[in-house]
Chains A and B, each alone.
Chain A
Amino acid sequence: MAASSAISSSSFLSVSQKDAGVSSFYAQPSSSIQMSQKKVSKKIVSVMAPQQSERKPSTTGSVKTGMTMTEKIFSRAAEKPQLNPGDNVWVNVDILMTHDVCGPGCIGIFKKEFGNDAKVWDREKIVIIPDHYIFTSDERANRNVDIIRDFSTEQDIKYFYDIKDRSNFKVNPDYKGVCHVALAQEGHCRPGEVLLGTDSHTCTAGAFGQFATGIGNTDAGFVLGTGKLLLKVPPTLRFVLDGEMPDYLLAKDLILQIIGEISVSGATYKAMEFVGSTIESLTMEERMTLCNMVVEAGGKNGIVPADATTFKYLEDKTSLPYEPVYSDDQARFLAEYRIDVTKLEPLVAKPHSPDNRGLARECKDVKTDRVYIGSCTGGKTEDFLAAARVFLASGKKVKVPTFLVPATQKVWMDLYTLPVPESGGKTCSQIFEEAGCDTPTSPSCGACLGGPQDTYARLNEPQVCVSTTNRNFPGRMGHKEGQIYLASPYTAAASALTGFVTDPREFLR
């Protein structure tokens, strides 16, 4: 790749001119910017042209301001020592993810712009995960998986989680399932990195202390060819959650609380940083649920500082080195929200908006026609364990069709192998069976977003559904007049048992 000498033109580089003394250095093309695929130097070093003579510290102008985690990640990825929110910078991308719905479009753009014979920037940094419309007879959907397969073969993409035999997902050894859960389970999420994906819920990976956000086909096509993207540094909203997590609440309730507080556009163009004692007590999957829905508040990305929990999770998943970043003490936040989780109650998001917050107990007269437990938001192993806990506590059968859609093959296997605590050794699948739920189906995004008409559990009639998914706008799960209540796995399971929207404390106390 050509050295980016043209970056020197400051027409679009809006680096703050406050540091008057060093601004001239930003304007120079740094010959130390490496265009190779090597990992950028871990330390944030000053990007100075080598021919500079030694300068005394007193001539460098103002002291570096504290930066938030997100700003630091941008700073490292853009190879600039200091950044401010609002700056537009070219960042190096560590991982690019795409799936069967957007993959073909990206590929089309990549080929058109870079040429039919062009090669991707790094075959090991692209992860292609078919997951959206897999178990369907829709020809175009099936063709789209073929398209991404052909491309992966042609480009020798290292991580392509293929599926060929749709009739039985288990015979496809590479197939994973929902992209965001697969990315985590396969060790592609690492603290301090930049992960972009052609899906709005790519922000899920922020749980690992990295910058992760969703982009469109054109941007992704650009990244495919160059490994870089022009991004604007977002200001950060800080959410401090303290208090011991009550045992009837889950991360889903926390994020529904927050979205209800700031509205669906409350975090537009902003980073949402989650800190506090409660956050530290959350497992990785719970943190993923939290970060998953920041996009529902308009957020650019969600982020949780990496800690022992993160490192433990990553131990057996990735061998690539990573370096976490943390917000400085003097980092500037746009706003800070403090939440005492001990005061919260189980929530739902009523139709037709994720910010239409309501207390689960206040919706107890809302009859539900079905319950859906699945998706990147609420279809992970721990989500199913949570639902199983409620069914176990009740001992009764569900009153409405209850659809279970594990996010990935691994989750599916966990349902059939992991013992549920305090159940006498039963697995989730046994408990679900005894409760009368549907058999857990093939892992994929399923009906979270409706999909082709023959998608399992799709809302094809104007029914009420309590769902552990992430959006409930009109028509989200299929039918335009379908009424979707977003809820935690606890609340969803409780609702399945009564046939009405139900506060899980009915069963968990």
Chain B
Amino acid sequence: MPAIYKEPRNQALVVILLHASIFKPLRLHITGTEFFLWFSNSSYAFFFLWFSISSSRGFRFLSVVCSSSRSRHHQPFASLATSNVFNATKQRSFKPLISQSIVSSTSPVTRRTSVVAAATANSSSSASSTSFHGLCYVVGDNIDTDQIIPAEYLTLVPSKPEEYKKLGSYALIGLPASYETRFVEPEEFQSKYKIIIAGDNFGCGSSREHAPVALGAAGVTAVVAESYARIFFRNSVATGEVYPLESEARVCEECKTGDVVTIELEQSLLINHTSGKEYKLKPIGDAGPVIEAGGIFAYARKAGMIPA
């Protein structure tokens, strides 16, 4: 059995599959289109399971597929979701505006077979409090948008699902060689680092929304920086791609890439499990109401500025 099964996330995935295949139908989002995988009988389910367990390629397909599922709406099918080992969403309190799954009547894909509603395995299970969990990637000061997403990739249009996904694969590819650990491995579309820890003025430079989008597409849930550049912060809030948090201390010097961290939003805390230290985060401030509403459009609808 491949070594990746040692990871708790992957073990849990297997559990879900088992549970799901036997008990309930499953829902999957694969990069913008909604697939319903419904095992019409358990033998198909077990075959699928066997295939994915027995080969690492099969498993990788599965985990890519599962981690790319970011169900951003509260679907009626949520009730069909399997056990709540993982929540159906990334447990952000704000709803991203760029919805990855375009469920429109013109969508050609309605293969209604049930699906795994497993999201990234990084959120805690409670539905009310919001927290982010995962490996962190540490960068320094003044990380500008050209380092986050070099200009040559700006031809990718974020509102197109395929290109959105590609943007993720290029996230932070502009970092200089002094950053020995790559953020996204070659051939991958997502990073194993879910949280970015940064110094001052994160996201300075261009107004390109591709910057927070690339991070979000790569699977980043939150950024903890000492301070942000204005436009990047605004774009993060408007798109809902990453949750932009500010730290009080210089956390980029205290944390190392690969540390396991948790962010507890309610308590405004950053917990570094690897070092055992905790850091206070600053309150979100004026952006709070917009984030809570679910982005600028949702906020405007709530305020009556645009029709619901």
Task: Tell me if B209 and A264 are in contact (CB < 8 A).
Answer: no
A310 interfacial contact with B, CB 8 Å: no
Task: Tell me if A473 and B227 are in contact (CB < 8 A).
Answer: no
Task: Tell me if B306 and A225 are in contact (CB < 8 A).
Answer: yes
A1-22 CB mask vs B (1 if < 8 Å, else 0) is 1101111010110100000000
Task: Tell me if A473 and B157 are in contact (CB < 8 A).
Answer: no
Stretch at the interface among A59-67, A98-106, A164-172, A497-505: A98-106
Stretch at the interface among A249-257, A381-389, A447-455: A447-455
A439-453 CB mask vs B (1 if < 8 Å, else 0) is 000000000011111
B303 interfacial contact with A, CB 8 Å: yes
Q: Which B residue's beta carbon lies closest to that of A136?
A: B155
Alpha-carbon separation in the docked complex, A14 to B286 (Å):
10
Question: How many residue pairs at the A-B interface have CB separations less than 8 Å?
Answer: 176
> Which size bracket describes the interface of B in this complex?
35 or more
Alpha-carbon separation in the docked complex, A11 to B289 (Å):
9
Task: Tell me if A264 and B204 are in contact (CB < 8 A).
Answer: yes
Alpha-carbon separation in the docked complex, A5 to B201 (Å):
37
Alpha-carbon separation in the docked complex, A481 to B206 (Å):
20
Interface residues of B in 90-144 (CB under 8 A from A): 97-99, 142, 144
Q: Which B residue's beta carbon lies closest to that of A266?
A: B201
B196-209 CB mask vs A (1 if < 8 Å, else 0) is 00001100111111
Residue tally, chain A, CB below 8 Å to B:
67
Interface residues of B in 247-295 (CB under 8 A from A): 286, 289-290, 295
Contacts of B146 in A (CB 8 A): 449-450, 471, 473-476
Contacts of B207 in A (CB 8 A): 102, 198-200, 202, 214-216
Task: Known contacts A264-B204, A476-B146; decide if A450 and B239 are in contact (CB<8 Å).
Answer: no
A289 interfacial contact with B, CB 8 Å: no
Contacts of B80 in A (CB 8 A): none
Residue from B201, B286, B295 within 8 A of A218 (CB atoms): B295
Determine how close the nearest CB of chain A comes to the CB of B283; give it in whole angstroms.
15
Alpha-carbon separation in the docked complex, A265 to B232 (Å):
13
Determine how close the nearest CB of chain B comes to the CB of A348; give it in whole angstroms.
18
Alpha-carbon separation in the docked complex, A232 to B177 (Å):
38
Contacts of B290 in A (CB 8 A): 230
Alpha-carbon separation in the docked complex, A39 to B307 (Å):
23
Residue from A9, A216, A268 within 8 A of B238 (CB atoms): A216
Task: Tell me if A471 and B157 are in contact (CB < 8 A).
Answer: no
Task: Tell me if B157 and A268 are in contact (CB < 8 A).
Answer: no
3 interchain residue pairs of minimum CB distance: A108-B159, A6-B304, A216-B209
Enumerate 21 A-B pairs (CB-CB under 8 Å) in ascending A order.
Answer: A2-B304, A2-B307, A102-B209, A104-B160, A105-B159, A105-B209, A108-B157, A108-B159, A113-B97, A132-B154, A214-B206, A215-B231, A216-B239, A218-B239, A226-B305, A268-B228, A353-B142, A450-B150, A471-B146, A471-B205, A475-B150
A: residues with CB less than 8 A from B are 1-2, 4-7, 9, 11-12, 14, 88, 90, 101-102, 104-105, 107-109, 112-114, 132-133, 138, 140-141, 143-144, 147, 198-200, 202, 214-219, 222, 225-226, 228, 230, 232, 264-265, 268-269, 295, 298, 300, 353, 449-453, 471, 473-476, 478, 480-481
